[in-house]
A and B are shown apart, each in its own frame.
Chain A
Amino acid sequence: MTVPPAVETRNLTKRYGDVTAVDGVDLQVERGEVFGFLGPNGAGKSTTLNVLLDFVTPTEGSATVFGHDVREERAAVRERIGVVPENYGLYDRISGRRHVEFAVELKDATDDPDALLDRVGLSPSEAARPTGEYSTGMSQRLALAIALVGSPDLLVLDEPTSGLDPNGVRRLREIITSEAADDTAVFFSSHVLGQVRAVADRVGIMNRGELVAVDTIDGLRSELDIGARVTLDVDDSPDVTFADDAITDVTVAEGTLRATCLEPGAKLRLLDRVRESVSVTDVRIEESSLEDLFASYTEADAGGEADAGAEADVGDEADAGAEPGGDGATAQTNGTAATESGSVEVDG
């Protein structure tokens, strides 16, 4: 007998009149897995989560949590999940601590509210204040504490980092990691990639109501072969050429050299090579590779290049070195710019 996954949707579809918010999504989140649900605002992430939470009735398809239908077996689902919903609200006149107590009561749990509040980083004096006085970050912490009541087997977090300061984000990350270590599945959405990368075992990317990719971050990155963007401040125009497949899109302008490095070692090779002819005054490495990857999935359609992102990777592995899916046009533009600058030969 197979064990049902933490979350499973089959052909999940939600239409509002003519607008299809979610279009035939088949998704699985395994037990104990941290699953990052990505996509731009309006991609259908929240609608999918809303169906999962039984806030919204699907037009077609079904959703189950640990094998229980989210609508028909609501009580069984609620026993096992903890949720930070999108656009949730708190009771302004009631203290944060009372919120947690109430959740403990409703969940018939045995948690110590103070321990939970401490875990999310709300001090006893903050917890004693009515939530009407809370900042967004404090509200987010409290919402997380409520979600953790009853040690759920699945945490569903809709944009949990919004409004959190860096400290709060770090703490959230620690909590997600430790929950996952306890075999809790975490299904969380975000439109910010950087926050997903650090914790997610797998990511799913939504765009225009469709689930366009599901993979590990490394898997997605290697499929698309998108590198890091390196910017060097230089004191003179370097006279260099690169016979290196891992260094592409090199441009030089106004004392700045930009290049894309497709593998970690290429950054150092680039730096060494440039320093042979000029001195480098500053180095910046943009962690934009994932943003690019994200963009290649979510913007390809918008640009009329339907499915370019999603299909490029399934195609020819031998050609993988070529263009990152959907970004062909961008690469070309860079190439032109490089030629015009005249000072650098572009190789690759």
Chain B
Amino acid sequence: MSVEQIARKDIADTGRSRSLWLVVAAVVVLTGGLVTLAAFVTDLGSREVITQSLGISASLFPIIALFAAKGAITAERDSGSLRTLLALPPSRGEVLFGKLLGRLVVVVVAVAVGVVGCVVGLLVAGKPTSATVVAAYAAMLLGTVVSYTSVGVGISASVATDGRATGVAVGAFTVALLWSALVGLVRSLLVEVGVVSPDASPQWLELLGIAEPSQAAQALYRALVSGTPFPGDPLQSAWLPALVLLLWAIVPVAVGYRRFRRADLG
């Protein structure tokens, strides 16, 4: 199966690169490291410690995942190894999905290590946490990295050079970082022109608020730790943010695949 072979080779190849270890280290530090540190230096309980550290993870995970993924295709296109690979049996689709799989394995393993580190750290600090919180935390982290890995690979498949992929990835990260502010701005403008009343919060605007993956991942976390993950209101439920994350995990790669399939690699 070519997808699996390419994924394995991709991991082996990136495994020899420093940037991969940078990604793994960043993920582990921002999860296990951060939570453990907070557990030791603050008086907060384990759940609060995790909740506090979520904001930082949610802000920085997009750039880490984008960084890990944006070169998946373009770096090989720049170096010419893509031509070597495509001269062999794998099709473009198999190369793309193999690369996606390879990068996903890396980020998912990094998150797993980070979460285990976080559980161990909390135990050592004498603040054991519930399985629900750990599961919610892991789901939130995975949702963010998987979505942004898909965005990064999608970008990589859609553009011709690694430089351009970097540019678009930085753009995507900026939007991610400013998402809440942008949605807030839209709201203020609508209130200003009288479309939205100052104390109302229309559902579509809230939906827009969780349309960005790391916001959706945080909403997912909140719903999962709330005790009632599936209330009547979809915006308070776990399934709507999960659906948003699922779409982000699929659509960017699918779009990238469509473009990559037709690209001239001359």
Contact = CB atoms under 8 A, between A and B. Distances in A.
A275 interface: no
A56 B265 contact: yes
A88 B81 contact: yes
A132 to B, nearest CB: 10
Interface string B1-27: 010010001001100110000000000
A172 to B, nearest CB: 17
A337 B83 CA distance: 51
A334 interface: no
Contacts of A93: 13, 16-17
Contacts of B13: 91, 93-94
Contacts of A75: 89, 91
A88 B264 contact: no
SS class, residues of chain B in contact with chain A: helix
Given A74-B91, A94-B12, A106-B5, A88 B266 contact: no
B88 A106 contact: yes
B229 interface: no
Contact of B80 (A78, A87, A102, A106): A87
A106 B2 CA distance: 7
Interface in B66-123: 76, 79-84, 86-91
Contacts of A143: 84
Interface string B194-218: 0000000000000000000000000
Interface residues of A, number: 33
A88 B16 contact: no
B84 A78 contact: no
A107 B89 CA distance: 6
A56 B13 CA distance: 27
Interface in B232-266: 262, 264-266
Contact of A57 (B2, B16, B76, B264): B264
Contacts of B80: 85, 87-90
Contacts of B5: 102, 105-106
A88 B82 CA distance: 8
Contacts of A87: 80, 83
Interface stretch (A30-38, A47-55, A293-301): A47-55
Nearest to A86: B83
A151 B84 CA distance: 17
A55 B9 CA distance: 22
Contacts of A107: 88-89
B265 A106 contact: no
29 contacts: A47-B266, A50-B264, A53-B86, A53-B87, A55-B264, A55-B265, A57-B264, A74-B91, A78-B89, A83-B87, A85-B84, A86-B83, A88-B84, A88-B87, A89-B81, A89-B82, A89-B83, A90-B79, A90-B81, A91-B9, A91-B81, A93-B16, A105-B5, A106-B5, A106-B88, A106-B89, A106-B90, A107-B88, A146-B88
What are the 10 closest A-B residue pairs judged by CB atoms, nearest first?
A89-B80, A83-B87, A89-B79, A93-B16, A89-B81, A55-B265, A78-B89, A85-B83, A56-B266, A88-B84
Interface of A: 46-47, 50, 53-57, 74-75, 78-79, 83-94, 102-103, 105-108, 143, 146-147
Interface of B: 2, 5, 9, 12-13, 16-17, 76, 79-84, 86-91, 262, 264-266
